[in-house]
Amino acid sequence: MLARDFVRNNIEALKTMLAQRSMADQVDLEAFTQVEEERRTILKELEHLRHLKNDASQEIARSKKEKRDADHLITEMKKVGEEIRSMEDRLRDVESSLESLELTLPNLFHASIPIGPDSTYNRIERSWGEPADFPFPPRPHWEIGETLGILDFPRASKISGARFAVLMGAGARLERALINYFLDRNTSRGYREVLPPFMVNRDSCTGTGQLPKFESDLFKIEGWDYFLVPTAEIPVTNLHREEVLSADQLPLAYCAYTPCFRSEAGSYGKDTRGLIRQHQFNKVELVRFSRPEVSYDELEKLTGHAEALLQELNLPYRVVTLASGDLGFSSAKTYDLEVWLPSQDTYREISSCSNFEDFQARRARIRYKDPDTGKNEFVHTLNGSGLAVGRTLVAILETYQQADGTVLIPEALHPYMGGVEIIEPA
């Protein structure tokens, strides 16, 4: 959420920002201006009425002291009191409307990101590793997994429907190994492990920016105002909702494994085969809370931690800064880590590392006490995947595939696979 005073005083600049974010038709700034003006008018009228009531109360007190008739003043004060209550009801409605409009506004973006309407304007920052030169046509992960007997999509479809998978045998073991490996490596770098609830309430989703804009992307529990988590970002960020942290607690760093549930609304026809775009997948998330002045140093640190995992698994990747039109609703700046997939001959996203500055903290009221001023200030929140487990499994199957159909296990995972170093047909 943006500060109300900032929105009020920067309407034209916000119109430019929304156009650069490709969101000009999604936010009604004119409505905000009208509702804010109505709010200010009501506040002025309330101030006037309360002043009249206060004057009348004082006059009634004097009349009673001097034994003068005050009935007409009492009647007048009751009328003013009724007007005040009516105006207060109107103010609550206007405040609710104004807050609803504020929640539709995306974050401002950082000056360092490229300006452009879509992902073609994203900027490649660096690459790591060399994609393998296979002496045979590399096969896609779903074909590898089905041949090895470790991926079963038909049975998953029978159980649940499209965009689900069953992992079996060494495939299930590899998924579990990756979860444990990511948690171990991230905690060794100073992140505190959290196992949060996998269902969250509406306030939590609103605090991190998923609601109200992205409700259609979430799985809602029928009959309850709960949502299945689309990412651990939501429960972990909301650990400190409506709290005031001390400055010496910062930065705070958490990592959490959760299954993630997404409707994939609007993605029909995209990645219909395989594990890339599923309704349910596993992920280990990194979340950091920072003082504002060092949050971009924290972003580089968090991104480096996610990169280290790919390097340890020897998976080639690149780092991309998202352009304004490709940036997430709540983010001020995002680095996408894209891993190389041999079968597609391209890089695909495996982690997004973002700085939200104080956007989420304002919505969730997460503050810290500034020791220099003694005032409560909003923290900056950051998060990134460390990593998306299913997509990492995809990258391993494709990168480590062999001509005979087997798949080698990255050395770093050997201890997590019970000594298994190669996946062979079941």
Between vectors from CA 360 to CA 88 and to CA 195, what angle results, nearest 5°? 120
- Is-catalytic flag, 68? no
Of the candidates 395, 317, 379, the residue with the CA atom closest to the CA atom of residue 352? 317
- Is-catalytic flag, 126? no
Of the candidates 287, 284, 282, 192, the residue with the CA atom closest to the CA atom of residue 238? 287
Predicted local distance difference test score (pLDDT) of residue 58: 78
Predicted local distance difference test score (pLDDT) of residue 199: 98
* Active-site option among 290, 330, 352, 385: 352
Q: Are 231 and 238 in contact (CB under 8 A)?
A: no
Predicted local distance difference test score (pLDDT) of residue 266: 63
Predicted local distance difference test score (pLDDT) of residue 151: 97
* Active-site option among 202, 277, 348, 365: 277
Looking at domain 4-102, its CATH superfamily turns out to be Serine-tRNA synthetase, tRNA binding domain (1.10.287.40)
Q: 199: Cβ–Cβ under 8 A, 6 or more apart, which residues?
A: 221, 226, 227, 228, 229
Q: What is the CATH number of domain 119-423?
A: 3.30.930.10
- Is-catalytic flag, 12? no
Whole-model pTM: value is 0.92
* Active-site option among 189, 349, 365, 377: 349
Predicted local distance difference test score (pLDDT) of residue 83: 87
Predicted local distance difference test score (pLDDT) of residue 353: 98
Gap between the Cα atoms of 137 and 140, Å rounded: 10
Average pLDDT, the chain: 94
- Is-catalytic flag, 173? no
* Active-site option among 21, 173, 185, 262: 262
Of the candidates 293, 280, 273, 300, the residue with the CA atom closest to the CA atom of residue 358? 293
| H-run or E-run covering 335 | strand 333-341
Gap between the Cα atoms of 215 and 193, Å rounded: 28
Neighbours of 116 (CB within 10 A): 17
Predicted local distance difference test score (pLDDT) of residue 268: 64
Q: How many residues does the chain have?
A: 426
* Active-site option among 175, 330, 391, 398: 391
Predicted local distance difference test score (pLDDT) of residue 79: 84
- Rg (C-alpha) for the chain, rounded Å, is 27
Predicted local distance difference test score (pLDDT) of residue 267: 63
Which residues in the chain show pLDDT less than 70?
A: 70, 265-269
Q: Where are the domains of the chain?
A: 4-102, 119-423
Predicted local distance difference test score (pLDDT) of residue 271: 77
**pLDDT per residue over 84-125, tens digit each?**
999 899 999 999 999 999 999 999 999 999 999 999 999 999
Predicted local distance difference test score (pLDDT) of residue 94: 94
